[in-house]
Copies of this chain bind each other. A is one copy, B any other.
Amino acid sequence: MAGRISVREVDRLLKENLQLAPAIDCPLNKSAGRVLRENLVADRDLPPYDRIMMDGYAVRGAELNQGAIRIKGQLVAGEPHRELDGEPGSALEVMTGAILPKGVDTVIPYEDTVRDGDRLTLCAKARTGQFVHRKGSDFRAGAILVQMGSIMRAVEAGIAASCGYATVQVSQRPRITVFGTGDELVEVGARPAPHQVRRSNPSAIEHALAMASFHAGRIGHLLDNPQKEEERLRDTMNNSDLVIISGAVSKGKLDWIPAALDRSGTRIFHGVAQKPGGPMGLWITDSGCRVFALPGNPVSTLAGTFRYVIPYLRLQQGSRERAARKVILSQDFTTNGNLTFFLPVVLDPAGRALPRPVNNSGDFARLAGTDGFAELPEGSTQWPAGSAVDFYPWKT
């Protein structure tokens, strides 16, 4: 395909043509996997009070070595602030999480004490101030604890809850439609004739989206007859923010998708110097819908989805996470060097990437058991064991 652009240029064009999703309010308990669109700010000091860190006895550190200590009562978490009276050598029994009483500064855990009635004896060394988590010692009120652009996972949810965010501002998810193409394809539940195959790419894309916390609201199929199908495609694009089409995107006689998309909007690129999946393209319709057209070979569809579509969606949501991480190749590998090569790999227990190339871009079943693919950029042909390369996991 003449005029193919580089993978790097695709990355640039995706960023350049990004339309950031609107921000919406979302109940905290529905926010898992969503991209945060506000900073999460501490509304109080953290911890909000001098917090007791062990069950035991609160004492005055200065009196630790001045003989017997007398227990004056008990304080539990959830009780309001109390004060230890002024009598020297006094202690209060305290519980983890409680506010440190006024007049004391040190906590002695049960296991470091012997108690006899209300008399307490220390049986281990103690340090003034120990086991007190000081008010504001982690963060001050007003501090930004979680940055806008983070994905709401367990840590972020815990912080949001502790700071009183019963709702959080997150990105609205795009309305996504997935289309397969081709007259030779039949339903998953059908029994194919000898010359037919079942529709599998839409299922693969749907699962890829779901695992990345996106939802394909509509799954459809386009036949090879553009006269009948182009209007249906256009209607769908008018009612979607993102359309992913698998197949009919190359330069064959029946590959009607590129011309149809050209009539509905602007071609951002078509043809990438990569293998597999070179004939892919991106269009933006006049209605603002982003359309990824991916070649229909299953390995090509998967490569395009994981290398571009999901990273694009994450960017569109405002995420600041890297799409790829580095892995080390555990075996030599050779490419032709003219194209960026997406190499399926298995990660071994040490985390190194073992090449597991497929026979060709139709050989999707060989991807089972792989962990994702490594990206071997154009320009180099030799990839010796030990090379650090970008890795895109199937497990996003």
A302 interface hit (Cβ, 8 Å): yes
Interface stretch among A226-234, A245-253, A283-291, A332-340?
Answer: A245-253
Nearest Cβ on chain B to A154's Cβ, whole angstroms:
4
Nearest Cβ on chain B to A328's Cβ, whole angstroms:
8
Interface stretch among A62-70, A78-86, A267-275?
Answer: A78-86
A204 touches B250 (CB 8 A): no
A364 touches B194 (CB 8 A): no
Q: With A and B bound together, what is the CA distance between A46 and B147 in angstroms?
A: 48
A9 interface hit (Cβ, 8 Å): no
A368 interface hit (Cβ, 8 Å): yes
Nearest Cβ on chain B to A103's Cβ, whole angstroms:
16
Nearest Cβ on chain B to A149's Cβ, whole angstroms:
11
Q: With A96-B250, A162-B200, A194-B99 given, is the CB distance from A365 to B138 under 8 Å?
A: yes
A38 interface hit (Cβ, 8 Å): no
Indicate which residue in B28, B188, B196 contacts A78 across the interface (CB closer than 8 Å): B196
Interface stretch among A16-24, A206-214, A235-243, A374-382?
Answer: A206-214
Interface centre among A207, A251, A366, A388 (most CB of B within 10 A): A207
Nearest Cβ on chain B to A358's Cβ, whole angstroms:
8
How many chain copies? 2
Question: Hey, what's the 0/1 contact readout for A141-165 against B, CB within 8 Å counting as 1?
Answer: 0000111001111111111111111
Indicate which residue in B110, B158, B208, B350 contacts A204 across the interface (CB closer than 8 Å): B158
Question: Hey, what's the 0/1 contact readout for A329-365 against B, CB within 8 Å counting as 1?
Answer: 0000000000000000001011100000001111111
Q: With A and B bound together, what is the CA distance between A190 and B251 in angstroms?
A: 61
Residue of B nearest to A252 (CB): B55
Which chain B residues lie closer than 8 Å to A366 at the CB level?
A: 138
Q: With A and B bound together, what is the CA distance between A327 and B205 in angstroms?
A: 30
A184 interface hit (Cβ, 8 Å): yes
Which chain B residues lie closer than 8 Å to A367 at the CB level?
A: 155
B394 touches A201 (CB 8 A): no
Nearest Cβ on chain B to A194's Cβ, whole angstroms:
6
**Number of residues in A with C-beta < 8 Å to the partner?**
118
A89 interface hit (Cβ, 8 Å): no
Which chain B residues lie closer than 8 Å to A190 at the CB level?
A: 164
A53 interface hit (Cβ, 8 Å): yes
Which chain B residues lie closer than 8 Å to A117 at the CB level?
A: none
B203 touches A160 (CB 8 A): yes
A155 touches B55 (CB 8 A): no
A308 interface hit (Cβ, 8 Å): no
A145 touches B365 (CB 8 A): yes
Nearest Cβ on chain B to A199's Cβ, whole angstroms:
6
A323 interface hit (Cβ, 8 Å): no
Which chain B residues lie closer than 8 Å to A47 at the CB level?
A: 197, 362
Nearest Cβ on chain B to A127's Cβ, whole angstroms:
14
A161 touches B395 (CB 8 A): no
B359 touches A203 (CB 8 A): no
A98 interface hit (Cβ, 8 Å): yes
B164 touches A198 (CB 8 A): yes
Contact sample, A vs B, 21 pairs, CB 8 Å cutoff: A51-B362, A78-B184, A79-B195, A95-B253, A95-B254, A97-B247, A98-B184, A110-B252, A138-B359, A138-B362, A138-B366, A152-B207, A154-B305, A157-B200, A158-B203, A160-B203, A161-B199, A162-B365, A164-B190, A166-B189, A322-B349
